[in-house]
Structures are given as structure tokens and as C-alpha cells.
Amino acid sequence: MTLSTRNPGAAALALAALLAGTACSAPPQGLARGEAIYDTCSPCHGSMGEGTQRLGAPAIAGLPQWYVETQLRNFEAGYRGAHPMDTVGIRMHSMAQVLRQEGDLESVAEYVASLPRADLEPVLAGDAQAGAAVYAETCVACHGPAAEGMEALGGPPLVGQSDWYLLRQFQKFRMGWRGTNTGDMFGMTMRPNSMLYTDEAVVNAIAYVQTLN
Ligand code: HEC
Ligand code: HEC
């Protein structure tokens, strides 16, 4: 199926139609089914999962399956993308509602995890050297020495991700648009850290993370 890249808002409806139409004949859980479902993600996240800054949609290629699954559930539960001011997050909130059939969410997460990590151009101008100190002081504990992520603590990889998106999410934690729901166990561990640093310090930490890519 094809979707207009000019109208990504139609994607949720299109996926609902796709899933309704294939209710009896969906391929078994796994990569093939994930790839088919991914057609509905690509208008926003790009055909290779590289993201689209204009739409606020992050790179998701190569994110670990456990993290993609957690976030799809978090959007569905309204732990993310439900704040009335979060007009960008809401796009993804409505999208996650339609992965209804058993195995859909796991299949698409498996497919996303299988995509090679995107090669992304930094758009922020932070001081990576100053940022190394911030990273070593705090972020390393949950995001890992190479920013590769730490599954046991729920910390996602920060490498392979656009700098503009990382900054925006940090701010969303600080503003309480993410990480405030008591059901959001991992988000709640991130939020206090977002209150420790100014935007300048975070932009520097993110510049350091870009050097680890
Ligand atoms: C209408 C556009 C749109 C579509 C379609 C869409 N997304 Fe998203 N997605 C977004 C936006 C925007 C964000 C960032 C939300 C925010 O800022 O909190 C996002 C965030 C995510 C994240 C969180 C990434 C992270 O690092 O935390 C994952 C995972 C994700 N999307 C997966 C998917 C999958 C899988 C599909 C298809 C089933 C999909 N998205 C379809 C717009 C979209
Ligand atoms: C106590 C553990 C912990 C520490 C310390 C920590 N984080 Fe996190 N961080 C997390 C967890 C857990 C998540 C994922 C939350 C979720 O599931 O929504 C996260 C998510 C993020 C995200 C969102 C990534 C995405 O793909 O959406 C950013 C950006 C981030 N952290 C940056 C930082 C930075 C920068 C620091 C250091 C100043 C830091 N974190 C310190 C645990 C931590």
C-alpha cells in the first residue's frame, strides 16, 4: 500500500483500514508482518527509519526492540503525547492506538530494530568537550559509557539519534510532558535528571553524544 508523504496525518486511519482488512489473513508475528505495518510509519519516520525533522518525527532505525515496544505502549497509554500542549507528540499518540491485533506491536518493533542506524547530520552547535563532563557526571549511569543504552534500567541508546530530537525530549521531561505518570516507571527515573541541567548544558552533553556515533 502507498501513503501520501504530504499527508502523514492520514497514516493512522490508513493503518486502521489495513489492519481491519487483514484481520483474518495477517502474516504470523515477525519481520514480514512488521515490514508491512511499517508502510504506515514511513510517511513520518522515513522509509529507512531516518526520521523527518519537519514533522518532529525522530530517527527510529536500529533502536532496540525492547525500547520501541515500551514507547509504543507508553504512547498508547498516554504516558507520552497526551499533554494538551504537546501538538507534536499527539501525532504519535494517535498512531499507537491502532496497533491493535495481537503481535502487531512486537512485529513492527522487531522490524524497526532490524533497520541499520541512520547517519544523521547535527543541527545544534554544542560544546562537546564541556558536554563530556555533564555526560560523565550523570547520563552515563543509565545511558551507558558509549551512550549505547542500558536495558536493565530502561535507558535508551542516545547514539544514532538526531540532536534536535534529544533536546526536545529532554525539555519534555523537564516540562512534565513525559515521565510524570506513575505508571511510567522508566520515564519517572529520567525526569529528575532533566531538572538538573540548563538547555545549554544539555546541548553540550548532546554534542558529546554525537561524537560517539
Ligand atoms: C503522523 C506521524 C507519525 C506516524 C505515522 C508514526 N509516528 Fe512514531 N513518532 C512521531 C512523532 C512526531 C514522534 C515524536 C513524539 C514526541 O515528540 O514525543 C514519534 C515517536 C516515535 C517513537 C519514539 C522514539 C524514541 O526515541 O523514543 C517510536 C518508537 C515510534 N514513533 C515508532 C513508530 C512506529 C513503529 C510507527 C508505525 C506503526 C510510527 N511511529 C508512526 C510521528 C509518527
Ligand atoms: C536514572 C537513570 C537516568 C539518568 C541518570 C539519565 N537518564 Fe535519560 N533516560 C532514562 C530512561 C529510563 C529513559 C527512557 C524513559 C522512557 O521509557 O520514556 C531516558 C530517556 C532519555 C531521553 C529520551 C530519548 C528518546 O529516544 O526519546 C533523553 C534525550 C535522555 N534520556 C537524555 C539524558 C541525558 C542528557 C542525561 C544526563 C544529563 C540523562 N538522560 C540521564 C534514564 C536516565
| Cα 101 to averaged position of ligand 2 atoms, centre (Å) | 30
User: Is 209 a residue whose pLDDT tops 50?
Assistant: yes
pLDDT of residue 31: 97
Average pLDDT over residues 205-209: 98
Q: What is the pLDDT of residues 87-112, one digit of tens each?
A: 999 999 988 888 989 999 999 999 99
95, 11 in Cβ contact below 8 A?
yes
Is the Cβ atom of 45 under 6 angstroms away from ligand 1?
A: yes
pLDDT of residue 71: 98
Nearest protein Cα to ligand 1, atom 31: 92
Nearest to 162 by CA among 114, 119, 133: 119
Residue nearest to atom 36 of ligand 2 (CA): 139
Residues 6 or more apart whose CB falls under 8 angstroms from that of 147 comprise 135, 139, 157, 158, 159, 209, 212
Query: ∠ at Cα 130 (129, 133), nearest 5°?
Result: 100
In angstroms, rounded to a whole number, what is the distance separating the alpha carbons of residues 16 and 49?
A: 21
